[in-house]
Each structure stands twice: as C-alpha cells, then as structure tokens.
Amino acid sequence: MLEDRSYMRENPHRSRWSANAVVMVAIVVCFALQNIATFYLRYPVGEYLALSKQGVQNGFVWQLLTFQFLHAGLGHIFGNLLGLFFFGRSLEARLGTKEYLKVYFLSGFAGGLLQLALMWIWPEFYGQFVVGASAGVLGIIAAFAIMDPEGTVMLNFLIPLKLKYLLYIELGISLFFTVVPAGNVAHAAHLGGILMAMGYIRWSMHRPSVEWNPLKARQRKRELVQAASKAVRWRQRSAATPELPSEEFISREVDPILDKISAHGIHSLTPREREILEAARAKISKR
C-alpha cells in the first residue's frame, strides 16, 4: 500500500524548524548567556568552554564542542550567522538534516583540532584559546561550493562570484595565514573546517557500495514528491493518467521520476512526468 512506505507517510513529530535554524538560535542564545555570565556573574566562561591547550590538558574535552557556540563580539557572531543563513539552509535542503549536521560539526571539530595542535606547538603564534563557529560555517560554504561549483553568489552583495572561486579564495586566505600567522583570527581552524568539509563531501560522492545521493533516501522521497509537484504547479490532472494500484504506481511511475530529479534537476522533467508527480501528490493528500 502507498501508506506502507515510510517516505510517503506524514511524520507527526517532525519539527517545523530546520536544523540550520536551530543551530543559529543556539548560537545566539549561547552568546547572550556567555555575556551575561561574564558581566554579571563573573563566571570564567573562557576557562571552561573556550578551546584551549590548558583546558584539554585538564580533561575539558567538551571544549571541542562548546567553543563553537562562543564568540568574541557582535561582529564575530554576525558574520557567522550570515554565512549560516545564506548557505546553511540551502545545504540542509540538499543534503538532509543528518548529513548537514555531520558536515557542520565535523568541520568544527576538525578546525578546532588543527588550531589546538598549532597552539600546542607554537603558542606564541597561535594564541591561547579559540572561540567561534567559523570553522563549521566555512565548512558549510566549502561543502556547498563542492556540490555546486558553478553556482553564483554576490560578494559583498555587489560582485557576482562563482562558488568555486569563492572556495579558492577562502582556502587560499586560510592556508596563507596558517603558514604566516597574523592577528587574532583563527585561520588554522578555518583551514581545518574547509578541508574536512571538502574531504567529507568528496568521499561521500565516491564512497564504495553506497551511491551518494541524498534525494534518493527513502525518508526524503515523500517530501520530494510534495515539493516537486508544488514547483511545477500543474493545475490539471490528465484523464490519461493510469489508475494503477498504489504500490505499483509508486514503484513504476514515481520512483524513476525522483531518480531523474536527483540526477538532473526538476527542470529536466517532461510534461508527462510532471503530471505523474501531481497524481502522486493527489494520492497522498486523499489519505
């Protein structure tokens, strides 16, 4: 039956919030608590939650996570939130929530580890501690650029720039200032986050025995049917649409179309295929 397929059923427990939105809200809340604790309570937030050589030596391994939710000021947090707003939600839509969170936090961990290693070796050049979501954010941007290198962004809202060139610029800046450290910016953390995201996405695309294609995931197919039928906005269902049993209709008609969308995009669909998607949406809505 149609409803027997997990990706064709409505999930009553599904949150209306995207993971990207939750991450952004968590960053803002943590920044507010960080400043309140520091100013009013005189609590040594940095000592326990910022990533530092001394903290890790004392066994504060949670700092590899908590440092990603602390920020050095309004400009710092605003830049990271801006990156998540423009790139995070789009990447999550492409990858799905689980893979999005993997990319974000693995990039943050990798960036923290690289910065920590250099702090350990050359503390006079790489500082005593690091805070900020930049490693994860730059990982998100790098992942998006790997998946859509020909996509275009408006640099400073004025200059059109292809994502692959944006990636080259960010990678070059991070690498140069990791080799030649200057200022208070954790460029090594940025570099670690970028490299982790690039490696993870490329590995995911070519990992053996698993075809990397998030849109083929069963739990995503129902969402895709709904989104695709809305996008094509096909108003009338043709009288020629075959009345097949639900299970056969899905396997014979809908699954190949979803595969085609995941491989070539929704604009590759023929009028007939768009009609079939609308028929699938109608079956779902009648349940």
Digit-coded pLDDT (tens) for 28-50? 999 999 999 999 988 989 899 99
Kindly tell me if the per-residue pLDDT of 196 is higher than 60: yes
Residue 235: what pLDDT? 39
> Under the phi-then-psi rule, with left for phi > 0, alpha for psi from -120 to 50, and beta for the rest, what region is 80?
alpha
- Tens digits of residue pLDDT in 229-281: 544 443 344 434 445 555 566 666 777 777 766 665 565 667 777 777 777 76
User: What number is the average pLDDT over the span 160-173?
Assistant: 94
Q: Which of 1, 65, 91, 76 is nearest to 31 (CA)?
A: 76
Q: What is the pLDDT of residue 155?
A: 77
The tokens of 42 are what? 């005189």
Instruction: Give the pLDDT score at 271.
Output: 75
Global confidence as pTM: 0.69
What is the spatial distance between Cα 144 and Cα 201, in angstroms, rounded to a whole number?
A: 9
Residue partners of 213: CB distance under 8 A and separation at least 6? 262, 263
The whole-number pLDDT of residue 245 equals 57
Does position 209 have pLDDT exceeding 50, yes or no? no
Which residues on adjacent β-strands are paired with residue 161?
153
C-alpha to C-alpha distance for 190 and 85, rounded to whole angstroms: 18
